[in-house]
Amino acid sequence: MRIHIIQHVAFEGPGAIGEWGRERGHTVMVTEQFGEGRLPVLEDFDFLVIMGGPMSANDDATFPWLAGEKRLIADALSRQKAILGVCLGAQLLAQALGARVYRNSKKEIGWFPVRLTPEAAGSRLFSGLPAEMTVLHWHGETFDLPQGGVRLAESDLCRNQAFEIEGRALGLQFHLEVQPESLEGLIGNSLADLAATGPAVQTRDEIRASVHLAQTLRPALYNILDRLAEAAP
């Protein structure tokens, strides 16, 4: 299978998603938007992965390439490609489906739990996953549930943490893909976020102290990715 990953900044790479692709023997290609990479055409991939980034999904004026990326996501949806959006990627996926992206009431930065919704039990992507998982959050914005979306997970401060469309497109507001080395890159390049205060903003030391959780999340991530791969055309 041909997987294409869109990466927005150097310090938010695919992490364990890329490792999964290589372990499964898939072809993995990457567009680096921060390096003026070229977006693929629909015929070039079966599975599209959209990573996170510090910019907003609404920042088209500052980052003109966002408009083209949203068109690609919409076209991939219409062609029933498999799609995974992570953090900013989830917001772009929701926006491509007509949903609103806006500032969340509180920032979530650090390791905090998400709870699966009752609908997750019937989801082809989330069924069988733990009812609660402690995952890495790094966001200040959220999105409305798009039309046709099924909400799969929530947290105390953010209602829409995960949603799916027809079992082939998935938006994750949180990070299952993070690895120890990528976490250090995220910390080092996001000091302004860590200077914020709030009920769900951890310090650098607190975030580093829970890095072992990255390994415990890998089975859930691989399970989800395998199921998305099965949905690819």
Active site residue 8: no
Exactly one of 12, 87, 108, 158 is catalytic; name it.
87
Q: What angle do CA 20, 21, 25 make, to 5 degrees?
A: 115
Active site residue 87: yes
- The closest of 151, 64, 56 to 102, measured between CA atoms, is 56
Residue with tokens 């966002």: 66
Enumerate residues 6+ apart whose C-beta is below 8 A from 64. Answer: none
Active site residue 175: yes
Q: Specify the DSSP element, H or E, that contains 177.
A: none
Exactly one of 8, 137, 139, 175 is catalytic; name it.
175
The Cα 227–Cα 101 span in angstroms is: 27
Exposure of 176 in the CB half-sphere (CA atoms within 13 A): 27
Q: Are the beta carbons of 29 and 4 closer than 8 angstroms?
A: yes
The Cα 140–Cα 162 span in angstroms is: 15
Residues noted as catalytic: 87, 175, 177
